[in-house]
Amino acid sequence: MALLEVENLQTHFRTPSGVNRAVDGVSFHVNEGETLAIVGESGCGKSVTSMSLMRLIPEPPGRIAGSIRFAGRDLLQLSDREMRAIRGNDISMIFQEPMTSLNPVLTVGRQIRETLMIHQGLDKQKAEAHAIEMLTLVGIPEPKRRVREYPHQLSGGMRQRVMIAIALACNPKLLIADEPTTALDVTIQAQILKLMLDLKHRVGAAIILITHDLGVVAEIAERVMVMYAGRKVEEAPVAELFRSPRHPYTQGLLGAVPRLGSSLTGTARRLAEIPGQVPDLRKPITGCVFAGRCALATDLCRQYAPGLEEKGPRHVAACHYAAKGAIAA
């Protein structure tokens, strides 16, 4: 059963030079306990999508339309008060920057306690005990000492563990992780990913993982949604997507991933890049959003926007040519 169902999400920002359609008509769903990855390059709207789900977009200048049904309720219809009861409790979030996402003047313990006290009505002692438990759970040594420390006394990886402890303290049904490992070095990245997966199984939470790192996607996601210029261009189960990407943009993304050992096996070639730039989202786009950068684009692409079409089992893509296999890699 779908835990989260997003229909025609539109998040627009009013700017002095016109309306920026950062997210323009995106629909997707997340099942209970499932891990969905949202991938795309910078500025494709993936972070704005995740912030819209939590209604963390400042309004104005932002405006969110469409519907976001979470456990049967449309989040966009809730009052601020009802929404606050969901944030950090049913849906919680981990951000990209562990160095700046924790409050520097409050103790780690206080920052974990807070969500427990707001959402679970625990008193200070019980919340403190639970905070220590959470620190143990996310693998922080000496939790009893750490709970009284401030963020600047912890390393980047430790801080991200604290963020995870805060996010999971109330056993959320959905965890949104916005590039959780981007700011960490590679060895720590692996530890944090493993931790997220372990805890996901323990808590039974669904995860929306926002990333541009396809290695991470391959490792932990079950389904992948590819975004480009504020729209969904392709969606498929992870193995299917890596095996047969249908949209030229997805193919470009996969082509831009360096392959380890390719120089040894003699298959080394120059990394493929996607030429051109993301279109200006303040101007209306006719035709396919990717047409300007697509090597296969024809007049059809430039005039008519392709709809999302079934291209395989649970596999959709928005491309006029994908179905015909004319662009199979």
Partner 1 sequence: MLSYILRRIVATLPVMAIVALFVFSLLYIAPGDPAVVIAGDQASPEDVERIRQSLGLNRPFLVQFGSWVWRILHGDLGTSIFTNLPVSAMIGQRLGPTLSLMIVTLLLTIVVAVPLGVVAAWKAGSLIDRVIMGFAVFGFSLPVFVVGYMLAYVFALELEWLPVQGYTPLAQGFWPWLENLILPAIALGCVYIALVARITRAAMLEVLQQDYVRTAKAKGLGQGGILFIHALKNAAVPIVTVIGIGIALLIGGAVVTESVFAIPGLGRLTIDAILRRDYPVIQGIVLLFSFVYVLVNLMIDVVYTLVDPRIRY
Site residues (vs partner 1, CB under 8 A):
54, 56, 84-89, 92-93, 95, 97, 100-107, 114-115, 118-119, 150, 152, 163, 166
Minimum distance between the CB of residue 76 and partner 1, rounded to whole angstroms? 17
Between residues 110 and 247, which has the closer beta carbon with respect to partner 1?
110
Minimum distance between the CB of residue 84 and partner 1, rounded to whole angstroms? 5
Minimum distance between the CB of residue 54 and partner 1, rounded to whole angstroms? 6
Contact between 41 and 226 under an 8 Å Cβ cutoff? The reply is no
Between residues 157 and 172, which has the closer beta carbon with respect to partner 1?
172
Between residues 88 and 143, which has the closer beta carbon with respect to partner 1?
88
Minimum distance between the CB of residue 223 and partner 1, rounded to whole angstroms? 24
DSSP string computed for 233-292: EEEEEHHHHHH---SHHHHHHHHTSPPTTTTTTT---PPP---S-PPPTTS---S-TTGG
Between residues 203 and 308, which has the closer beta carbon with respect to partner 1?
203
DSSP string computed for 140-179: -SSHHHHTTS-GGGS-HHHHHHHHHHHHHTT--SEEEEES
User: For residue 14, which phi and psi values (nearest 5 degrees)?
Assistant: -80, 125
Q: Is 313 exposed, middle or buried (0-12, 13-18, 19+ CB in 10 A)?
A: exposed
Q: Which residues contact 14 (CB under 8 A, 6 or more apart)?
A: 20, 60, 61, 63
Minimum distance between the CB of residue 102 and partner 1, rounded to whole angstroms? 6
Between residues 5 and 149, which has the closer beta carbon with respect to partner 1?
149
Structure tokens at 217: 């996607």
